[in-house]
Amino acid sequence: MAQRPAYAAAVLMSCGVLCAALAMGLRNSFGLFLAPMTEANVWTASGFSFAIALQVLLNGASQPFCGQIADRWGGRVVVMGGAALYAIGLLGMLLASALGVFTFFAGVVMGVAVSAAGMPVIIATLTRLLPEGQRGLAVGLGTAGSSFGQFLVVPLAGLGIGTLGWQWTLALMAAVSLLMIPLALPLAEPPRPRQAPQGEETARQALARAFATPSFWFLFFGFFVCGLHISFLTVHLPGFVQYCGLPVAVGAGAIGLIGLFNVAGSLGAGVLTQRWRRRELLVIIYAARGVLITGFMLVEKTTASVLVFSAIMGILYLSTVPPTVALVARNFGTRWLATIFGLVFLGHQLGGFTGAFMGGVVLDLTGSYDLMWWIGVGASAFAALVHLPVKDPPLPRPAAAAA
């Protein structure tokens, strides 16, 4: 693929990053609505939580299908459709007076919306549209943009709830989600022929090849661990902080620090993905998570120790995404990248559901989160080991150098 002019690549990456930031920021704001919406509608917290858990599961289950549509007809149409579903889902959440209706919009509609307008489709599209030398940076920027959206949008949503009320805040979020439609315009891809060229791999063949390749399953189960860590921290870290006797503000600050420092972590991982072996990078990231969690469990839980842990974990938080995307592209090509990475991402979301749910189960059974933290350490070791046999093809040599 020819190198794009600097300005064209910058516009493409900027719009992709902003889309990812809005999508991630909006979806990560839903936890803020639990208290005001359950109180106003006389719902149970578990009923509200089930709707959000259903969203996570459907996000993972629908991701491969959204990816295949993006692979066939381009990422732009999928992201635009996802933005429209975002607005419909948010308005449905606003207008729902029955918990079942809320579950449909927050769980089903938003689950598909998050898949269509989310990070996997956007970064797969950027990977296809940009040449090899710009892909790692683009994926790093897309991942960092998602974290920056979490850092920026979630506090603004909280401010809106406190000043305008949850109803107006949901309405404003629905309007903001429509900004993803014009931002998706540069994600246009060249039209593909109605019939695949002679000898081109079909989606069915690509999936069969992926399923028969051990590296696919190593990446799938490694990403499962990433999702387990992330959802456990997102859902339970504030509660763990309170359990340790620290102020509520420390838990909120911890989540914010994770999002802020993940910007640097994702950008750094994107750069290293272009310059270093991606397999070894993933092994180091997962091993570092295990060492960090172990150290955190062995020290006294103070405001300082929680915030230091959160900052370092933020660097490791989504830094797994650029090397994982690169390994999927290198092992299986870019033609069906969104489809195959969507399946790997399904592993991430299954891990996310497990981490969120298991954290609550462990707390109910044991009265503390300690066992769950040590499970996280064991999962880190598993993920580091499972990536060792992943095939990591070398960078393609330029034609001039190969001559």
pLDDT level of residue 396 (50, 70, 90 thresholds):
very low
pLDDT level of residue 304 (50, 70, 90 thresholds):
very high
Q: What's the pLDDT score for residue 198?
A: 56
Side-chain half-sphere CA neighbours of 256 within 13 A: 12
Domain boundaries, the chain: 11-187, 209-394
What is the fold, at CATH topology level, of the domain defined by 11-187?
A: Growth Hormone; Chain: A; (1.20.1250)
Listed residue (28, 21, 19, 138) closest to 79, CA to CA: 19
pLDDT level of residue 394 (50, 70, 90 thresholds):
low
pLDDT of 197 above 60: no
pLDDT of 32 above 90: no
pLDDT of 399 above 50: no
Q: What's the pLDDT score for residue 217?
A: 94
| Rounded (5°) CA angle 32-38-39 | 105
Which of 36-40, 121-125, 283-287 is predicted most confidently? Answer: 283-287
pLDDT of 89 above 80: yes
Rounded CA separation 305/288 (Å):
17
Question: Between these two residues, 139 and 190, which has the higher pLDDT value?
Answer: 139
Q: What's the pLDDT score for residue 29?
A: 79
pLDDT level of residue 135 (50, 70, 90 thresholds):
low
Domains 11-187 and 209-394 share a fold: yes
Q: Which CATH superfamily is domain 209-394 in?
A: MFS general substrate transporter like domains (1.20.1250.20)
What tokens were used for 382?
A: 């598993």
pLDDT of 132 above 70: no
Please give the average per-residue pLDDT across 142-150, as a whole number: 75
Query: What proportion of the chain, given as a percentage, has pLDDT over 70?
Result: 90
pLDDT level of residue 130 (50, 70, 90 thresholds):
confident
pLDDT in tens, 206-246: 888 888 899 999 999 999 999 999 888 877 787 788 788 88
Listed residue (268, 297, 299) closest to 284, CA to CA: 268
Question: Looking up tokens 């707390």, which residue turns up?
Answer: 363
Please give the average per-residue pLDDT across 139-145, as a whole number: 73
